[in-house]
């Protein structure tokens, strides 16, 4: 039975009861009585939503870097210093706060020293993912030309207005290489030889990189460490690092999904040198991919996956069910953290999340791990971001895997073609949550019932999250039903509505997606909402992700 870690190692070496959604418009309920209710409790603030929850992940993998982000200065594709211009413009629009790079598994085989200095002097190296690449892909997918290195990546972030989050190599480089990478990025102009090297490349001022991952998936591709072994490495790699006056936020390689043991054993071993060790950790990484659509038949990493584009209503619900596990993972790992860190100084950093399908739906044939996101992935992404918004005190950062041309991508690009996927549109819909104050909100709606291969299964009927900033209230909502419209009464306990709009994304076809040819097949629509008899009654069509933007009086 193949597991994810074995797959990654290769790199190193509706329903029976519900019909498919009709092409026609969704059926209207017989009566206009609300079947759902959204109650916002202004006197129950939960915490500030870190903008970094809306973070991204760009690994040197397949078409992410080369073709996706980097097109080269001499390309006919509009670019800023070699970086795809249209991508930068879209990322500014969603206020992208932070981008993780260079991996993923790639990080633990990467030497940052290969990616600095004059571009024509940089070495070509075998990419971590080379073994998994097909012969047909462009050479730079298998053999890293190092055209993009620290300078180009940080420049990309600065052009967007995002913070860089760099993952250090713990498997195959030394602690010295890590501290020198920090020195290269952050030492003041003129202070060190590495600062001079940076200046010679045109970057005299320090990059002031704050977020540093200490390895990636150290239980697997990042070194096959036990939790205890990794704790020893973590202590050694972080025992001393130059800070140059800024506190570094160090992120420890955390568990895969529900591996509570990893979290517990890592923290136990770390603490053997005293409780102060914990203070070195800003965040504990957590990775969770929704991949198993086998309806409980297998745990095999290959066999369990579903198709990105061909699916029925049960697959739709199964994907959401797999993604919905995130809430329990966040609260579960938080609980384990509390055994060691009563004051909860250490936060969770969900630096890889999203659906992972089997190969076959690449927008650019051959691109490794590329899949075309549909409306299902948009609903999934909205649901996941809502989970994060509801746990603001626990989650410091989250990074959707991955930004472009890979897994749950916001964008697809190939040469001069570019498209915003439905997932990218969700990040637009949800952007106003960033930095808002989350409010407890009660969602009540009929539970969904479906037939899971002869066994009854259920899923919640309506959920979302709420935040307020000054007089602006954002309520995001997911209606997961593939067939039923929800009519919800929205009640604000402690505030009154001045005006409101609803932006929503849905489609009678649950497989709807954008392509290079049909770039706007799935797009959010917006309308004003009016109060009826003092109440706000809002319709959420089936298979819908929505944002209400409410001005308070």
Contacts with ligand AHR by CB under 6 A lie at: 8, 59, 103-105, 216-217, 352, 401-402, 407
Q: Give CA–CA dist 21/406, Å, rounded.
A: 27
CB of 8 to ligand AHR, least distance (A): 5
Tokens, residue 136: 């047909």
Report CA torsion sign: 396, 400, 402, 404. negative
Which residue, 11 or 145, has its beta carbon nearer to ligand AHR? 11
Q: Give CA–CA dist 434/53, Å, rounded.
A: 8
Could you please report the per-residue DSSP string of 233-269?
A: HHHHHHS----TTS--EEEE---BTT-HHHHHHHHHH
CB of 330 to ligand AHR, least distance (A): 18
Report CA torsion sign: 20, 21, 24, 27. positive
- Nearest residue to ligand AHR by CB is 104
Which residue, 292 or 402, has its beta carbon nearer to ligand AHR? 402
Which residue, 59 or 315, has its beta carbon nearer to ligand AHR? 59
Which residue, 326 or 546, has its beta carbon nearer to ligand AHR? 326
SS3 labels along 299-352:
CCCCCCCCCCCCCCHHHHHHHHHHHHHHHHHHHHHHHHHHHHCCCCCCEEEEEE
CB of 225 to ligand AHR, least distance (A): 14
Residue linked to tokens 């509570």: 260
Which residue, 352 or 539, has its beta carbon nearer to ligand AHR? 352
Residue linked to tokens 């039975």: 1
Which residue, 14 or 102, has its beta carbon nearer to ligand AHR? 102
* Size of the chain, expressed as the number of residues it contains: 553
Tokens, residue 100: 């993780």
CB of 356 to ligand AHR, least distance (A): 8
CB of 314 to ligand AHR, least distance (A): 26
- Smallest Cα–Cα separation from 375: which of 526, 538, 521, 539? 521
CB of 454 to ligand AHR, least distance (A): 33
CB of 113 to ligand AHR, least distance (A): 21
Which residue, 81 or 224, has its beta carbon nearer to ligand AHR? 224
């Amino acid at each position: 039975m193949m597991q994810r870690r074995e797959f990654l190692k290769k790199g190193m070496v509706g329903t029976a009861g519900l019909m498919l959604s009709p092409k026609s418009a969704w059926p209207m309920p017989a009566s206009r009585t609300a079947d759902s209710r959204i109650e916002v409790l202004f006197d129950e603030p939960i915490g500030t939503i870190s903008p970094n929850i809306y973070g991204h992940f760009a690994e040197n993998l397949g078409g992410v870097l080369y073709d996706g982000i980097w097109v080269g200065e001499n390309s006919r594709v509009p670019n800023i210093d070699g970086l795809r211009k249209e991508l930068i413009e879209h990322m500014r629009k969603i206020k992208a706060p932070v981008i993780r790079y260079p991996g993923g598994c790639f990080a633990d085989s990467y030497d940052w020293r290969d990616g600095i200095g004059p571009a024509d002097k940089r070495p070509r190296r075998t990419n971590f993912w080379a073994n998994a690449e097909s012969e047909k892909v462009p050479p730079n997918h298998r053999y890293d030309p190092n055209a993009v290195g620290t300078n180009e990546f940080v420049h990309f972030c600065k052009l967007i207005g995002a913070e860089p989050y760099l993952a250090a190599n713990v498997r195959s480089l030394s602690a010295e290489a890590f501290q020198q990478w920090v020195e290269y990025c952050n030492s003041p102009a003129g202070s060190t030889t590495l600062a001079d090297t940076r200046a010679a490349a045109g970057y005299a001022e320090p990059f002031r990189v704050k977020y540093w991952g200490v390895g990636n998936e150290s239980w697997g591709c990042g070194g096959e460490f036990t939790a205890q072994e990794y704790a020893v490495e973590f202590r050694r790699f972080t025992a001393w690092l130059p800070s140059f006056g800024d506190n570094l936020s160090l992120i420890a390689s955390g568990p895969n999904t529900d591996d509570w043991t990893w979290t517990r054993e890592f923290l136990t071993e770390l603490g053997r040198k005293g409780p102060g060790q914990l203070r070195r950790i800003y965040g504990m990484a957590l990775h969770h991919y929704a991949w198993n659509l086998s309806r409980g038949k297998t745990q095999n990493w290959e066999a369990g996956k579903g198709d990105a584009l061909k699916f029925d209503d049960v697959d739709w619900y199964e994907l959401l069910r797999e993604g919905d596990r995130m809430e329990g993972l966040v609260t579960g790992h938080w609980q384990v953290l509390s055994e060691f860190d009563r004051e909860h100084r250490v936060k969770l950093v969900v630096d890889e999340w999203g659906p992972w399908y089997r190969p076959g739906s690449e927008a650019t044939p051959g691109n490794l791990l590329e899949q075309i996101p549909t409306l299902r992935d948009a609903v999934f992404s909205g649901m996941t971001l809502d989970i994060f918004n509801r746990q603001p005190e626990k989650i410091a950062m989250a990074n959707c895997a991955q930004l472009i041309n890979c897994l749950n991508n916001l964008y697809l690009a190939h040469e001069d073609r570019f498209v915003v996927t439905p997932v990218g549109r969700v990040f637009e819909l949800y952007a106003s949550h960033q930095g808002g104050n989350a409010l407890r909100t009660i969602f009540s709606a009929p539970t969904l019932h479906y037939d899971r291969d002869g066994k009854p299964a259920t899923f919640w009927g309506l959920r979302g999250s709420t935040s307020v900033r000054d007089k602006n209230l954002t309520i995001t909502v997911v209606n997961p039903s593939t067939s039923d419209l929800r009519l919800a009464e929205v009640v604000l306990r402690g505030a009154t509505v001045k005006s409101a709009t609803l932006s929503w994304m849905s489609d009678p076809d649950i497989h709807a997606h954008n392509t290079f040819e049909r770039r706007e097949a799935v797009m959010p629509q917006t309308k004003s909402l009016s109060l009826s008899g003092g109440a706000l009654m809002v319709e959420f069509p089936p298979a819908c992700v929505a944002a209400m933007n409410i001005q308070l009086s």
